[in-house]
Structure 1
């Protein structure tokens, strides 16, 4: 892994992080945006849920498209759509126009996120791929950690519309970095020219292949729980502990260091014990984090913080390990496999975020159940048969 240039690594990490940045930077500003657009705070949740739904579906298209025509035109086209969507959001005068802009943003970041994983798979496999994905995750962990803090500071200085100006600048910078640093990673001789019926059969094959589905479902469950945490934790911190928007941002920023530690640990443990074992350890820790939050709700902020730390460390083990296990056997259709993986992740994110917002009872208890449930689903998906499937594949 020492041969991977740092600018190349950082560019792929930034592409992967663009979706989370585009969502989390808005979190502190949603009440202000609702007031400015004459909408309710409840209706503003569509700004998040619509984004996740379009993001999930768009990945199913951009992945196989990139397998056919190459990564470069799809990434750059996606970033162009993202920039246009950000401009529409910045100029929006009502909620429907804002949602239209958010849908365009979601289409654009789908290309960026899917093809960052696919580009990594184009160049690496096995332990090298797992280590690269772990390092990408370490870098991109800054997006969910620091973007709410950045969003709060930008809104305080220039208003909520400036958030979308920041996203426009991010899209332009990423396009320039991709052209200058990464470029095309899928040579013409490795591209797959196949009709739509063959693409559909490709998805069916992936859905029926345990080598893909077990780690993919584990990763989807754990990242779905993570998005539920993103959507619910600010409310818990504000209502239960009296945090200001700035303090919420600082809490997320400090949580980044837990993910950093997990991302550095995952490849070392995978080389020692194997990816399937690390996946199960991470899923067990994520489950423990949710259960800790449930039983420690009376311990105040300290109990909440400890539970969050346990969950995030487990998530940081599962995410790169499960992604590497899911993509490694499918070099010839990396874009399609990455697209289906991303679809499953965003579908789980939409489902578990909705569950955390609608379950009865206190928000912290609802979040705890979702975190524990996501971890348990990941643990069940990464059960012993996964190891057997990987051994057979090797």
Structure 2
């Protein structure tokens, strides 16, 4: 269990340890704010395709071997970033590190399903998800504290240590959970075909984009807030890390409320409440910043509310997206993760290009992402309604046709009715009931024909 907690927690650890160090890295290499953002956005962009590939690779070669390869990539990238003498070298290290860390959540879920099966995987996965939540909440504080006391390079030394520990535990403790008989080949054609079908499905695309744009709210905040706190407000990196814990707690609270109330309220109302609340929170932040109100609570208060709102809407939107293609839910899940990371990378870099001596780009970027999330949800809901309406019309048409067939059948002699039944498709339970009612409705006509 401890190994699986480390597997799923190493991905957020590599990200959130680094974010508080971004202002110090900018100062160390004498680069612009937009330039240092590449260390975040390029790593996220590299994580997106890596997330899509680690699952099929582990299906082909096994979980244990794949996890050892990923651990070596994290270690190599962390060492390269920690010893980088130029920002370009640091970028290469960050990309390699992120590609390896992308395997963590994918392999953790796969290993849990291998061990526990479908029925018991949920509770087991919920237990190890604690590792991801703890890493998300504590890593910014640790990263900020290390940056202020030891220096930004120490954050990469911590991830190097974690990757080395993960490699040793995988090698010495973790057994192979994916049987050789269940392994598959790495053929790209079926995978491309499945992705293409999903991207053409309007219900999936609308709700998957809603999830991605909601996560973009958080990445816009993480890309801009360190600059605002450290450079514009003169606060320390460790203070930023401590306050960022509140944002993580807000997201966790939203998830807990969604888990409790979705069965009572329904997925669509929860998504609507969450997306509307996040837009209101981000809009309020933008108005406050445009009015000159620049305090830590002005920034983090709306961010906590927005994170809570995203916790309400994102799990439900992802569930609706996966339900659009239940026979390929695994592929749909990995594609959604890829979309999330791709849009997060684009958002982070776009925010970096707009940062200046004003804090307003922080609020504007978050508000745009929240508006796009709400628009994607509305589009997905409309598409779902339009898709449901023809199905209902077809069902009503089939019911009318069944009634006519049943009445005709009741009015025919036995031999002729048998011939018709032979060429027509068999009636289902509802059709047989309607036909039976029609026969009872015309007993005289049937009896007179038999007497003749």
Q: TM-score, normalised by structure 1?
A: 0.82
Distance 1:107 1:229 in 2: 23
Query: In structure 1, what is the equivalent of residue 241 of structure 2?
Result: 249
Quick check: 1:11 aligned with 2:4? yes
Query: In structure 1, what is the equivalent of residue 86 of structure 2?
Result: 94
Q: State which drifts further: 313-322 or 180-189.
A: 180-189
Query: In structure 2, what is the equivalent of residue 228 of structure 1?
Result: 220
Distance 1:200 1:125 in 2: 26
Query: In structure 2, what is the equivalent of residue 3 of structure 1?
Result: none
Query: In structure 1, what is the equivalent of residue 403 of structure 2?
Result: none
| C-alpha contact 1:276 1:382 (8 A) present in aligned 2 | no
> What's the CA shift for 1:54?
1.2
Query: In structure 2, what is the equivalent of residue 4 of structure 1?
Result: none
Q: State which drifts further: 223-232 or 319-328.
A: 319-328
Task: Find the residue that maps to 2:37 and give its secondary structure.
Answer: helix
Query: In structure 2, what is the equivalent of residue 351 of structure 1?
Result: 346
| C-alpha contact 1:71 1:184 (8 A) present in aligned 2 | yes
Task: Find the residue that maps to 1:284 and give its secondary structure.
Answer: helix
> What's the CA shift for 1:273?
2.2
> What's the CA shift for 1:387?
6.3
Distance 1:266 1:182 in 2: 33
Change (3 A) 1:199 1:99: same
Q: RMSD of aligned C-alpha atoms?
A: 3.6
| C-alpha contact 2:17 2:139 (8 A) present in aligned 1 | yes
Change (3 A) 1:115 1:283: farther
Match for 2:303 among 299, 303, 308? 308
Residue segments in structure 1 that go unaligned for 5+ positions in a row: 1-6
Q: How does 1:247-326 map to 2 (within 5 A)?
A: 247-297=239-289, 298=291, 299-301=293-295, 302-326=297-321
> What's the CA shift for 1:114?
3.4
Distance 2:17 2:373 in 1: 28
Query: In structure 1, what is the equivalent of residue 361 of structure 2?
Result: 366
Q: How does 1:1-394 map to 2 (within 5 A)?
A: 7=1, 11=4, 15-37=7-29, 39=31, 42-116=34-108, 140-175=132-167, 191-193=183-185, 195-297=187-289, 298=291, 299-301=293-295, 302-327=297-322, 333=328, 335-359=330-354, 363-383=358-378, 384-385=381-382
Distance 2:325 2:113 in 1: 9
> What's the CA shift for 1:208?
2.0
> What's the CA shift for 1:58?
2.0
Query: In structure 1, what is the equivalent of residue 449 of structure 2?
Result: none
> What's the CA shift for 1:168?
1.6
Change (3 A) 1:183 1:286: farther
> What's the CA shift for 1:215?
2.6
Task: Find the residue that maps to 1:92 and give its secondary structure.
Answer: coil
Larger radius of gyration: 2
Deviations along 1:27-49, whole A, 9 cap, x unmatched? 33334334545655543322112
Distance 1:353 1:227 in 2: 6
Deviations along 1:185-231, whole A, 9 cap, x unmatched? 65556554462222211211221234532332111111122111111
| C-alpha contact 1:121 1:327 (8 A) present in aligned 2 | no
Deviations along 1:248-292, whole A, 9 cap, x unmatched? 122112333222211211211222223333223222221111111
Distance 2:30 2:283 in 1: 39
Q: TM-score, normalised by structure 2?
A: 0.72
> What's the CA shift for 1:135?
7.2
> What's the CA shift for 1:22?
1.7
| C-alpha contact 2:34 2:353 (8 A) present in aligned 1 | no
Higher relative contact order (CA 8 A, sep 6+): 1
Task: Find the residue that maps to 1:296 and give its secondary structure.
Answer: helix
Distance 2:167 2:78 in 1: 15
Task: Find the residue that maps to 1:233 and give its secondary structure.
Answer: helix
Query: In structure 1, what is the equivalent of residue 396 of structure 2?
Result: none
Distance 1:134 1:325 in 2: 20
> What's the CA shift for 1:156?
3.6
| C-alpha contact 2:34 2:352 (8 A) present in aligned 1 | no
Task: Find the residue that maps to 1:215 and give its secondary structure.
Answer: helix
Task: Find the residue that maps to 1:289 and give its secondary structure.
Answer: helix
The number of residue pairs the alignment matches comes to 383
